[in-house]
Structure 1
Amino acid sequence: MKRLIFILVLLLSQTTYSQSWLTREEVYWFAGMGVDLRNATIGGTVNDASYDGTFSIGYRNVGFSILAYYETFQAIEYESMGVNPGFVLRPGKKFTPAADLSLSFIRRPWKTYPSLALNARAEYHFDRFFVYLRGENRWRTDYDFYQISVYGGISIKFGFE
């Protein structure tokens, strides 16, 4: 898994330098953090309102996006981590829709499970950062059901000229 991430980052960084005609709105790295909005406000199906946060780092190159993330939800002893390759519609615009596939793992105190999720994002971009809403449909292999969640967050752009 680490080798795959390293190879993808290496290949993507090489394409960044070979495509100097692209603008900074279309090619950049980003780091972000977010929160599950339902769990933070009213609680979930098995928990009271509590912090369920995500941390991510990613790369954008015009219509392609890839990010690695970590999610922690201590109230139910849940962690998730994975890699999300995806695509971006309307790169370089203020309002940018995006979608990705999450290839991930769910870690519980008793076992680690593979997991899969489909994500749809609505982003609003400013010069050096963007805010987002992300809808997620995750196959919760730790309990064998599908879970729909909505996250909100902010990402900082960096690494462009």
Structure 2
Amino acid sequence: MKRLFLLMLLLFPMIANCQSWLTREDTYWFVGTGVDVRNAIFGGTVNPVAYDGTWSLGYRNAGFSIIAYYETFHEIEYESFGVNPGFVVRPGKKFVPAADISLSFIRRPWKVYPSLAFNARAEYHFDRFFIYARAENRWRTDYDFYQFSVYGGFCVKFGFD
């Protein structure tokens, strides 16, 4: 309990002053779409070249990010959806690295499975949109193995003051 109190005491000045860090570029909503690059170009380990796409809605506030997403891959009758709370390394810059954890579900025709993934993102920002590359390491609980995927896409920012 003392450690938690000490941690809160040390973090309080940062939390209290966080409003001064925020700028128009640091706080916004975004919507986006992306595609699994390997499946789009080469095909997967169990499928030919096919569309595996994502749709997302997210919110950024300085170093914090949260994304709700939906992924569909008709070729193998796969869908996933979830939320990704994350950390943004360089908010407000042109090149922004970010990382998040995907707390999600995989839906197959026969069952719905909980799933977990770790994502690393590299984003390049323009005024009202950004493009990204995302590396994902997902625990595929429908088949009980880890799957590495690379996605690319773009997002549109909105909700500026």
TM range (shorter): 0.7 to 0.9
Alignment of 1:35-50 (within 5 A): 35-50=35-50
Task: Between 71-80 and 19-28, report the one with greater CA deviation.
Answer: 19-28
Alignment check: 8 A CA contact 2:21 2:62 kept: no
* Whole-angstrom distance in 2 between the partners of 1:93 and 1:37: 25
Matched to 1:46, the amino acid is V
* Whole-angstrom distance in 1 between the partners of 2:79 and 2:90: 32
Alpha-carbon deviation of 1:103?
Answer: 0.1
Partner of 1:146: 146
* Whole-angstrom distance in 2 between the partners of 1:20 and 1:78: 44
Matched to 1:99, the amino acid is A
Alpha-carbon deviation of 1:79?
Answer: 0.1
Matched to 1:25, the amino acid is E
* Whole-angstrom distance in 1 between the partners of 2:79 and 2:20: 39
* Whole-angstrom distance in 2 between the partners of 1:30 and 1:62: 14
Q: Could you say if the C-alpha distance between residues 96 and 21 of structure 1 is closer, same or farther in structure 2, counting changes exceeding 3 Å?
A: closer
* Whole-angstrom distance in 1 between the partners of 2:21 and 2:52: 40
CA RMSD, 1 decimal: 1.4
Partner of 1:69: 69
| Identity across the alignment (%) | 78
Structure 2 residues not aligned, in runs of 5+: 1-17
Task: Between 21-30 and 50-59, report the one with greater CA deviation.
Answer: 21-30
Alignment of 1:1-161 (within 5 A): 19=19, 22-161=22-161
| 3-state secondary structure, aligned to 1:40 | helix
Q: How many pairs are equivalent? A: 145
* Whole-angstrom distance in 2 between the partners of 1:160 and 1:48: 42
Alpha-carbon deviation of 1:96?
Answer: 0.2
Alpha-carbon deviation of 1:23?
Answer: 1.1
Alignment check: 8 A CA contact 2:106 2:142 kept: yes
TM (norm. structure 2) is 0.87
Q: Deviations over 1:83-112 (max 9, x none)?
A: 000000010000000000000000000000
* Whole-angstrom distance in 2 between the partners of 1:20 and 1:62: 11
Matched to 1:80, the amino acid is S
Which has the greater radius of gyration?
Answer: 2
Alpha-carbon deviation of 1:132?
Answer: 0.1
